[in-house]
Structure 1
Amino acid sequence: MFQVKKGPHLAVLLGCILYGMTGLFLAGINNLPITSIIFYRLFFGLAFIFTFLLATGRLGELKPGKRKFRLLLQGVIVTVNMFFYFLCVRETCFSVAILLEYTAPIYVMLASPFVLKEKVGKESIAALFLAIAGVYLVIRPEGGFGASDFSGSQLTGIASGLFAGILLAVIIMNVRVLKRDHSEFAIAFWGTAVSCILMLPFASETSFSVLAPNLSTLAAFGIVSVGIGGVLTTIGYANLESQTGSLLALIEPVAGVFFDLVFLGVALSTGTLAGCVLVLVAAILVSFNGSPKPAMNFTNFTDPAEVTEKY
């Protein structure tokens, strides 16, 4: 039983902290193209979710309900989101890419009143400004972003990053709609499965001799970020207002900075520290002022009496 009052908030935070470990896993993977890394990350995460449901006798939860097309669309959008995000990383840099990706709360806050009939509270608006400012400080390069950072092909990267942010907002809001007919595990499983199938052509890009030394790291990467992190964030997004979930997700770049500092020895500037504090304050603000849903029951996510949603 998961009867903590702020359970959905905690689920998003924990899931995004696990996502924030991406840098640690990538540092341990050698000589693999990013497309192969994405595929095997998805594959091992999907295998973990399936094994967990099989071991707990809950495979019945995977039976698709209504809105099957929307469930399929979730996986497609996740894959396209990854493509444009990594295109932004390639054409600009990681700092710019993650800043643009996490403009998602802005789009969620603009769209959710119309799409999901959610109200935008003063706390959410204040948290949004704090969080965006914090993320900017976290990823801001030494000396700031110069005009040279946004020229030539990098304009394509910027456009890709902005589009990735819009897609992330769609993913978060779509989870709320899918929750009406599917369990959180079904949403996470089928979204990952579709993404994995779409990335299947890239599985053979790498020879087994190159792949073999990286298998254990790839397996851990998939289980931690997609298997556990993906399910936790899906649980949170499904049971929180989308604007609250998207703001809490901004903890991911902060977690990434923390892991890089502690485990990879990356220096932490004063500006980065200030940014981390701002994001944490924003997370606390929405956690204490957001409208929590009723307690979640891990034994039966699809019981309509568990979560009352207003649309």
Structure 2
Amino acid sequence: MLEGKKGHLAILLGCVFYGTTGIFLAHIHAMAIPSMIFYRLFFGVLLILLVILITGNLSQIMLRKKKKLLALQGIITVVNMLFYFYCVKTTCFSIAILLEYTSPIYVMIASPFVLKEKIARGSIYSMVIAITGIILVIRPEGGFSGLQTDPVYLSGILSGIFSGILAATLIMNIRLMKDEYPEMGIAFWSMGISCLLMTPFAFSTPWNIFVENLNVLASFGAVSIGIGAFLTIIGFSQVEAQTGSLLSLIEPVSGVLFDVTLLGVQLGINVFIGCVLVLISAFMVSARDPVRKDN
């Protein structure tokens, strides 16, 4: 039973590691977001490379066919981050994360055409439950009232929607590469390309500020990219894109739980209910999803 659910478990664990982002951000001081993104990627890729060297699995990162898809994964990862953070800046964190995690909707729409996956009725039910839970988890005080119509705000909304589409694209692209590249190779090259693209921001932080935050930045990259990204890539390569996208909704829930338990953030009843709904959705997806023949 557990043997057939390794992909599910990898996604869930990877998203839990991703969910530690708020903890690390709370301990990083006086650094711009692009610079933090670069060092997060840098230390994550460094850990992956060290593991490859220690285990002697250099063959894992040999370039094969589908190089364009591999490069596309790295480029989309960076573009997704930029659109997401622009949405955060021009709207608010709650709206940005809600739009980012509409990705299962786009996966469900596109996967029958891109990956030839069938849309199961259970997936639709799970998606409705999960999206409802996410809305409750991230719903700000007073709800989403007072939406503005100025061009900057609307551009932020469009950026958030686009970040969700890009997140869905990343999930499906992993499925397209899985027959050519091992998970370690996908993680190393996609994150390495992302890091390379963010290099211009590497030196935007003064040296004394960098040294002050070095330990946190190294831990941030190792945990969220070196472990989190690697585990989720393993999972996404082993399960259907629809299943993976729904299971990934555990990330904002784990982030909320970390905030409550480690940072002392107060947990409202709507957040608690939302977390339960997302967990129920994840259980439904994992319980019904069959073992894939191509694993």
TM-score by length of 1: 0.93
- Post-superposition Cα deviations, 1:211-242, rounded to whole Å, max 9, x if no partner, equal 10100000000000000000000000000000
The aligned counterpart of 2:85 is 86
Cα distance change, pair 258–149 in 1 and its aligned pair in 2 (3 A): farther
**Corresponding residue for residue 245 of structure 2:** 246
Following superposition, the deviation at residue 152 of structure 1 comes to 4.6
Please tell me whether residue 291 in structure 1 is matched to residue 290 in structure 2.
yes
Higher mean alpha-carbon deviation, 146-155 vs 221-230, is at 146-155
Task: Give the Cα–Cα distance (whole angstroms) in 1 for the partners of residues 117 and 147 of structure 2.
Answer: 40
d(CA) in 2 for partners of 1:270 and 1:139?
12
The verdict on how the C-alpha distance between 1:175 and 1:272 changes in structure 2, with shifts beyond 3 A counting, is: same
Q: Which residue of 2 aligns with 1:114?
A: 113
Distance 2:225 2:178 in 1: 19
**Equivalent residue number for residue 270 of structure 2:** 271
CA RMSD, 1 decimal: 1.1
Aligned-pair identity (%): 53
Asked if 1:75 corresponds to 2:63, the answer is no
1:132, 1:154 → 2: CA distance? 23
Cα distance in structure 1, aligned partners of 2:150 and 2:124:
32
Segments of structure 2 that go 5 or more residues without pairing to the other structure are none
Aligned length: 294
Aligned to 2:146: 147
Deviation at 1:155, TM superposition (A): 1.0
- Helix, strand or coil for the counterpart of 2:52? helix
Runs of 4+, deviation exceeding 4 Å: 149-152
CA distance in 2, matches of 1:86, 1:135: 19
Q: Which residue of 2 aligns with 1:203?
A: 202
Amino acid of the structure 1 residue aligned with 2:136: L
Q: Distance in 1 between matches of 2:55 and 2:161?
A: 40
Tell me which amino acid in the other structure corresponds to 1:102.
Y
The equivalent of 2:10 in structure 1 is 11
In 2, distance between residues paired with 1:92 and 1:13? 28
CA distance in 2, matches of 1:244, 1:162: 20
Shift of 1:4: 2.3
Aligned-partner Cα distance in 2 for 1:278–1:192: 32
- Tell me, yes or no, if structure 1 residue 22 matches structure 2 residue 21: yes
Inter-partner Cα distance in structure 2 for 1:245 and 1:166:
15
Q: Which amino acid aligns with 1:219?
A: A
Structure 2 CA distance for aligned equivalents of residues 228 and 49 of structure 1: 8
- Mapped partners of 1:70, 1:175: distance in 2: 9
Contact 1:240 1:291 in 2 (8 A): no
Tell me the CA shift for residue 150 of structure 1. Answer: 5.6
1:164 aligns with 2:163: yes
Q: Deviations over 1:81-136 (max 9, x none)?
A: 00000000111111111000000000000000010000111111100000000000
